[in-house]
Amino acid sequence: QFFVFCHGLLQLSQLLVSGYLKSSISTIERRYGLSSQTSGLLASFNEVGNTLLIVFISYFGSRVHRPRFIGCGAILVSLAGFLMSLPHFITGPYEYDQSVASIFSNTTDLCQPKIPGSGGNHSDAGCTPHAARENHEVLLVMFTAQALLGIGGVPIQPFGISYIDDFASERNSPLYLGILFSVTVIGPGVAFMLGSAMLRFYVDIDKVTRDEIQLTNKDPRWVGAWWLGFLVAASLVAVSAVPYFFFPREMPKEVGEREHAFCPFVNETFRRFPLFLSDFPLVLLRNLRHPVYLLVVLAQVNLSAMVAGLATFMGKFLERQFSLTASLANMIIGAVNIPGAMVGIVVGGAILKRFQMSLRQCSAMCVLGMFLCLLLAFPLLFLGCPTQKVAGVTYSESSEFGHHALECNLQCNCPEKAYNPICGSNAIEYISPCSAGCRVVNINADNNSVLNYTDCSCISENGLAGFAKPGTCGTGCSHLFLPFVVLSCLAGILASTSHTPSFMLILRSIQPEDKSFAVGIQFMLLRVLAWMPGPVLYGSAIDTTCILWEKKCDRKAACRYYDNNLFRQR
């Protein structure tokens, strides 16, 4: 029972490390200027290390000291977690464009028409070879950490399950494995809640004092302390790895007659693996020719690819579509959507058990669940708003004000890459105070934050120069947020009711001696066809909807503005 407790704790903290990345992905994109395609690849890169090794690990399953192996895997995972946070410590503080001269820079992004002919008022100074190299280092470290995370995670689940199943009594084994399964489902929810808590802190909380932080967490330039969660999760993994070095190789069986009733196929895999490599092609062909098996696995692949992409980018979508903070978006996913999916899985299993369903009924239940999910998810295509009006990006003023509007900031020498969004009193957003032609900034003396910008030549109200507030205007979509969350949660519940029946279809339609292979091949296909490419495909689709890219050293970095309608539809 102590082993089960330790294993539950370890699986939870391992899922914290891998799930936490998904919760802070939009923050890491902003901090290091990544496209969604890159961040999607990063999010799914741990599957690479995992898939390469899983075959060998199962092969050695019965011959090694399993607890010790699990402990070593856990230490790798914890190392990977610490590595993930390393970029924060090797790069300088986060820099962003400001209107107020500060310790970071003495430049300003206000309109400064004083100096004719001297070019922009701050040049592209950030682009030294050092800056470019730093960016490569960051990516290298993160991809290495993700690969390590995958490799370290390999022995944890299969060895833990087989160890428990070998030494638990037949009566208790299903209970123990049920506990572990529920932990693996709860894990991602806890990870998103951790993300929600950590992203409330400013990223450089350890490098700058409180008074020097001029951003609030509602500002589009805000970057939360993404690295903090990795430290927490990695420490947890390290702590839960310790007991594994003290468990024996074999345990006395729990009291109670013992046959391999619950989990024969897991043990089977470890016992018969030497034959596995020689039989592999034959069994693979036999299973793949089995129409039920093939179709169900294909269905699961499609569903899992969708889940993988959604898990990675759902937070980013909520942030952009409904102008939420990253912290709130994670809170919604961790407290509403993931528990919804858990409820669905449990309900599906309960219905199965209650009505003792035949295979035909199982497949009917899957079809029904998916069809209802489609019906509920269809309105989500329309629940959202277009991108706010951004001068020069989604909206050109010349159409409304005649010709002078375009010239309004010509004398300002605006730097091209300035990004410090402000919302004009005419409800149009400007990329920076300079592009709105603002010449004056008013500061709140108490907490050093910007109150407003005045004397802005591009914002004209009744012929007078208008003013602007710092921060984005927002999409004005908050009234659709609640219906969206409710519908997406219900759709998730319905889709996940088909989880258990689809597994039953596979287990019951295959010849008993092939069960272990069938399940192994199924997980392999899910990894290679769904979990790996899913986030990358989603990220690429999201990138196609970007309308303004941040430029770093003449290359595309993170996206500043998306076309929200396209983002939602694609």
Domain stop point among 201, 231, 250: 250
- The pLDDT value given to residue 405: 43
Domain membership flag for residue 509: yes
Domain stop point among 429, 453, 470: 470
Looking up residue 518, the CATH number of its domain turns out to be 1.20.1250.20
**319 and 451 co-located in one domain:** no
Domain membership flag for residue 208: yes
Domain membership flag for residue 157: yes
Domain membership flag for residue 483: yes
| 433 Cβ contact partners less than 8 Å away, ≥ 6 residues apart | 99, 109, 110, 111, 420, 422, 441, 453, 456, 468
Q: Which range of residues forms the domain containing residue 237?
A: 1-101+131-250
- What is the C-alpha to C-alpha distance for residues 115 and 112, in angstroms, rounded to an integer? 7
Domain membership flag for residue 185: yes
**435 and 374 co-located in one domain:** no
Query: Could you tell me the sign of the dihedral formed by the alpha carbons of 515, 520, 523, 524, in that order?
Result: negative
3-state SS of 332-373 is: HHHHHHHHHHHHHHHHHHHHHHHHCCCHHHHHHHHHHHHHHH
Q: How many CA atoms lie within 13 A of 260 on its CB side?
A: 14
- The pLDDT value given to residue 115: 55
Which two structure tokens, joined as six digits, stand for 294?
């093939």
Which two structure tokens, joined as six digits, stand for 424?
């004009």
- What is the C-alpha to C-alpha distance for residues 345 and 495, in angstroms, rounded to an integer? 9
- What is the C-alpha to C-alpha distance for residues 245 and 3, in angstroms, rounded to an integer? 12
**141 and 219 co-located in one domain:** yes
**288 and 360 co-located in one domain:** yes
| 47 Cβ contact partners less than 8 Å away, ≥ 6 residues apart | 150, 527, 531, 532
Domain membership flag for residue 460: yes
**290 and 383 co-located in one domain:** yes
> What is the mean pLDDT of each successive set of 10 residues along the chain, which is 570 residues long?
90 92 92 91 87 69 79 94 93 76 60 56 58 81 93 84 77 78 86 93 83 77 91 95 89 64 50 55 74 89 92 93 92 92 89 85 93 94 87 66 55 77 85 83 75 81 76 85 94 91 84 74 86 94 92 82 92
Domain membership flag for residue 220: yes
**428 and 523 co-located in one domain:** no
Check if the beta carbon of residue 467 is closer than 8 Å to that of residue 456.
yes
**545 and 509 co-located in one domain:** yes
Domain membership flag for residue 147: yes
Segment (H or E) for 546: strand 546-552
Helix intervals (H) in 243-358: 264-288, 291-322, 326-332, 338-355
3-state SS of 379-397 is: HHHCCCCCCCCEECCCECC
Q: Which residue is associated with the tokens 């899985």?
A: 345
**140 and 203 co-located in one domain:** yes
Which two structure tokens, joined as six digits, stand for 228?
């903090």
- The pLDDT value given to residue 118: 45
Domain stop point among 412, 437, 470: 470
- The pLDDT value given to residue 11: 92
Q: Which residue is associated with the tokens 């932990």?
A: 183
**355 and 306 co-located in one domain:** yes
Which two structure tokens, joined as six digits, stand for 166?
């070998």
Check if the beta carbon of residue 438 is closer than 8 Å to that of residue 454.
yes
- The pLDDT value given to residue 102: 54
**429 and 358 co-located in one domain:** no
Q: How many domains does the chain have?
A: 3
**485 and 549 co-located in one domain:** yes
- The pLDDT value given to residue 401: 46
Q: Which of 354, 375, 292, 346 is nearest to 497 (CA)?
A: 346
Check if the beta carbon of residue 215 is closer than 8 Å to that of residue 96.
yes
- What is the C-alpha to C-alpha distance for residues 307 and 534, in angstroms, rounded to an integer? 8
Q: Which residue is associated with the tokens 């509920």?
A: 376
Which two structure tokens, joined as six digits, stand for 411?
């004398």
**58 and 147 co-located in one domain:** yes
pTM assigned to the model: 0.85
